[in-house]
Amino acid sequence: MARLIWTEPALEDLGQIADYIALDDPAAAKRLMRKVFTKVELLRDFPEMCPVPHDLPDSRYRHLMVKPLRIFYRVEGDTVLVVYVMRSERLLKSCDLDEHES
């Protein structure tokens, strides 16, 4: 079983998105948060279950889709590091991931 680590920026991203959703529908924000944490927990047992993003084909990152979110992570040995969370309709720029890693 892999160790799962959320970076501070990834948790902040998720929190900001949930806060925005909660402005209109607090229950939907809570459901989304539960769904995200449940799906991400699967990475402990199956760290390579998600694909490399098609828009970053040569990267070390993988992404988990939990509508309406994309959750980016990388696997380092027996550790899964969640580094970035974004709305799926946004366009990804490679600098987004770089900024979250530094």
Q: What is the pLDDT of residue 86?
A: 95
Residue 72 CA to residue 81 CA, distance in Å, equals 9
E strand or H helix at 87, and its extent?
Answer: strand 79-87
Paired residues of 67 in beta bridges: none
| CATH class label, 3-101 | alpha beta
Q: What is the pTM of this model?
A: 0.91
Q: What is the pLDDT of residue 90?
A: 84
Convert the pLDDT of each residue in 10-64 to its tens digit: 999 999 999 999 999 999 999 999 999 999 999 999 999 999 998 888 889 999 9
State yes or no: pLDDT of 101 exceeds 90: no
